[in-house]
Amino acid sequence: MKKFFTMMLVASVALTGLSAMAGRTEEGTWAAGTNFKYDSATVSGPHTYLEFQLGKFTKKDVLWGATVDVTSDDYVTTFAAGPKYECYFDMDTPWMPYIGLGIQVAHSSYDLGGSKSETALVGELNLGMKFFLTENTAIDMSLNASAATGDIYADEKGMTSNNIDFTIGFDFCF
């Protein structure tokens, strides 16, 4: 996994010279994307996370949208959806940092010595960086912290209400 992230970082840095402009974040632009995380070495088996997102820039560098997430491993499956907000910091380069906030409703079903399910409200904070390959396409790297009103995340000790992870994805602006 470390090799994958190292290769992505090296590729992004190498492509910096190829990208001639910053991304499209002006008012009226739509953004669609997906984020992905896979970890084969968790206590509960292979862990897969997939997020789909759609949003619109309501003014320059301000995105309002929604996300739908699916998380699954051998014992836990979680579905979540809700609105999000992202604020971009245009540095007039292909690299564009952002901060994001989101609220989701999540439902988790798990089997850790007995089948259970839980529905919770989740608050999320994202610190990310997009690297625009072209004006309309970007690689998205994000550190995400989540806090829920119930135990919907699996960790090595069982279920918990907090989660921190890193995702990588691809975005398209139109």
Domains within the chain, CATH numbers bracketed: 2-173 (2.40.160.20)
Contacts of 73 (CB under 8 A, 6+ apart): 42, 44, 45, 46, 47, 48, 154
Stretches in the chain below the pLDDT threshold 50: 16-20
pLDDT in the model for residue 17:
47
pLDDT value for 38: 83
The predicted structure's pLDDT at residue 8: 54
Mean pLDDT of the chain: 87
Rounded to two decimals, what is the model's pTM? 0.82
Report whether 94 contacts 23 (CB < 8 A): yes
N-term to C-term CA, the chain: 31
pLDDT value of position 134: 93
Tell me, what's the pLDDT at 47? 82
**Per-residue confidence (pLDDT) for residue 101, from 0 to 100:** 98
Residue partners of 10: CB distance under 8 A and separation at least 6: none
pLDDT of residue 12: 54
Question: What is the model's pLDDT at position 2?
Answer: 58
Cβ pair 98, 128 in contact under 8 A = yes
Residues 6+ apart with CB under 8 A from 2: none
